Amino acid sequence: MKTMRIEITKVLQETGDKFEDLQTTLTEEEIDRELDIWEKELITFYGWSPNYVYFVVFSDRGQRISYVPRNPTDIEPSCVFD
């Protein structure tokens, strides 16, 4: 089963942020609802942690959760598809 909680947690592991520190536009129901990637379920998601802003990126290859730093930094944003 694929849920937004699982997808967000994968990205948070990349950044080192914790799920409990994330503020999001999603409801608890939306976070735990099973996803079907072909139905474009990742639409309109924004999340804020102390260090990053998270959002959905769309391309011909699909969609993924990406992030950028909240403050200026030397790292580049994550926008590469797996």
Could you say which DSSP state residue 37 is in? G
4 CB-contact burial (10 Å; exposed 0-12 / middle 13-18 / buried 19+): buried
Question: Which amino acid belongs to residue 24?
Answer: T
Query: Is the pLDDT reported for residue 77 higher than 70?
Result: no
Model confidence over 27-65: pLDDT tens digits? 999 888 887 765 555 556 899 999 999 998 877 777 788
Confidence of residue 82 (pLDDT cuts 50, 70, 90): very low
Each domain of the chain, given as residue ranges in start order, spans 4-69
> Given this model, what pLDDT does residue 54 score?
94
Model confidence over 10-33: pLDDT tens digits? 999 999 999 999 999 999 998 888
**32: Cβ contacts below 8 Å, ≥ 6 apart:** 3, 4, 5
